[in-house]
Amino acid sequence: MPQPPNLCEGHHVIVPPKGVPVWDVDPYAPEILVNPAPYYTALRGQGAFAYIPACSILTCGGFAVTQEVFSDHSRFVSARGVGLQDFNLGTTWRPPSIILEADPPDHTKTRRVMMRAMSPRAVADLRSGFQDAADGLIDRLLAQGQFDAVSDLAEPFATDVFPRAVGMQHNDPRRLVDYGAMVFNALGPDNAQRRAALAKGPDIVPFITDSCARARLSDGGFGASIYSAADAGDISQAEAGMLVRSLLSAGVDTTVTALGNALWCLARNPAQFDLLRADPTLAKAAFDEVLRFTSPVHSFCRTAAITTQVAGVEIVEGTKILCSLGAANLDPERWHNADQFDITRRPVGHLAFGAGIHVCVGQNVARAELEAVLTALAQQVARIELLNAPVWRPNNAIHALDLMMIRLHRA
């Protein structure tokens, strides 16, 4: 492993707890981000926690410990940031999210508004439109011959149906995708990925801020629904704008990534794709297995609000803990044949959408999008042919493809 750079900026420096191994690794090194499986195995092999001196953080990747830290919001808070930086120390690149980077009681209020906006009922109304869009796109790509699964399928689909569901009147797919990448890269250290992403800020942030304004959102979308909560006095107008920003931060790059990862799994496992073709109702189970197997959000942090113990390890107040959702989702102690992609597994309890009070509030929307595309593939496609070695794109919090050339063969 290369010697890690000094990543420690904007958070507490802690002494490694007794019994916890010191691990000289840079979890944000590009070679780890593009091929994380060996790192995940090494991480779990460290024990419950490892101390990473370059970042002065603890990290965990075993399922039980990761789930405990990630879901116990009273001991491990989000308001101090879910990235490396401790928001109690220094300024942030943008005003913190009022849902993701908030704790109760503030979180309870904003979460309620988002749950209502993206209720199962609201999402059910969108399903047939999503299916029509997916059916049409797969039909066109079948006719096209070879194409890139990321820029020709995942991005065009997600940046079409999602902004319409939000009610955005001025769509800009490139800026939406780049904004997501920026928000997620910002969670890491001051490395090349983060600097390159934040350099696009002056071009992207004004567009995003403008898109969150009430006047820019049409009636009937998630955005208008959030603003109606402000009319009812549940939140302020400014908070409504911040919650629309959360949709644009968290709702595009994640689903683009999940779509690409789904294609990657199915292209490399033709027998699993055959199972899906034989029974397209497996789309939901297949998506959950894609999530478990690839963890589109590979890690998020928590900060210890008190001095406490987990798995017999004393964790002092202020400690940042990098929770590797990707490692937990591949833990052989939790999953039988963990390193095999199996769409019949039904991996209940995977951590790809998180756990506890912050569990992904947009998961109904993500599920509706992915199920539409997986159903269209199952119904129209006989075979997904992989044409080259897929290229992954390093990101400090997202495990996403950069390029994957494929050809679809009509059923």
Near ligand HEM in 86-145, by CB under 6 A? 99-100, 111, 114, 118
In whole angstroms, give the CA distance from residue 226 to residue 166.
Answer: 10
Least distance between ligand HEM and beta carbon 193 (Å): 19
Instruction: Say if CB 222 and CB 162 are below 8 A apart.
Output: no
Q: Hey, what are 256's tokens?
A: 């683009």
Angle at 291 between CA 171 and CA 367, to 5 degrees: 50
Among 204, 178, 208, 207, residue whose Cα is nearest residue 193: 178
Q: Which is nearer to ligand HEM, 114 or 315 (CB)?
A: 114
326 touches ligand HEM (CB under 6 A): no
Q: Which is nearer to ligand HEM, 4 or 85 (CB)?
A: 85
Least distance between ligand HEM and beta carbon 186 (Å): 14
296 touches ligand HEM (CB under 6 A): yes
244 touches ligand HEM (CB under 6 A): no
DSSP 149-213: IIIIIIHHHHHHHHHHHHTBSS--HHHHHHHHHHHHHTTS-SSHHHHHHHTTHHHHHHHHHHHTS
Q: Which is nearer to ligand HEM, 4 or 327 (CB)?
A: 327
Near ligand HEM in 33-62, by CB under 6 A? none
- What is the contact mask toward ligand HEM in residues 348 to 367, using x (rule: CB under 6 A)? ----xxx---x-xxx--xx-
Residue of 250, 330, 343, 376 interacting with ligand HEM (CB under 6 A): 250
- Quick check: helix, strand or coil at residue 383? strand
Which residues neighbour 81 within 8 Å (Cβ) at sequence distance 6 or greater? Answer: 87, 92, 96, 101, 187, 301, 303
Instruction: Say if CB 8 and CB 85 are below 8 A apart.
Output: no
Q: Which is nearer to ligand HEM, 106 or 172 (CB)?
A: 106
Residue of 159, 211, 254, 269 interacting with ligand HEM (CB under 6 A): 254
Among 397, 410, 271, 279, residue whose Cα is nearest residue 342: 271
Strand partners, 410: 381
How many residues of this chain interact with ligand HEM, rule: CB under 6 A?
26
Near ligand HEM in 168-227, by CB under 6 A? none
- Per CB under 6 A, the segment of 247-255, 305-313, 342-350, 382-390 that binds ligand HEM is 247-255
In whole angstroms, give the CA distance from residue 91 to residue 89.
Answer: 7
Instruction: Say if CB 180 and CB 15 are below 8 A apart.
Output: no
Least distance between ligand HEM and beta carbon 294 (Å): 9
In whole angstroms, give the CA distance from residue 299 to residue 297.
Answer: 6
Least distance between ligand HEM and beta carbon 373 (Å): 12
76 touches ligand HEM (CB under 6 A): no
Strand partners, 323: 60, 300
Q: Which is nearer to ligand HEM, 23 or 212 (CB)?
A: 212
372 touches ligand HEM (CB under 6 A): no
Residue of 263, 297, 377, 381 interacting with ligand HEM (CB under 6 A): 297
264 touches ligand HEM (CB under 6 A): no
* Site residues, ligand HEM (CB under 6 A): 78, 82, 99-100, 111, 114, 118, 246-247, 250-251, 254-255, 258, 296-297, 300, 352-354, 358, 360-362, 365-366
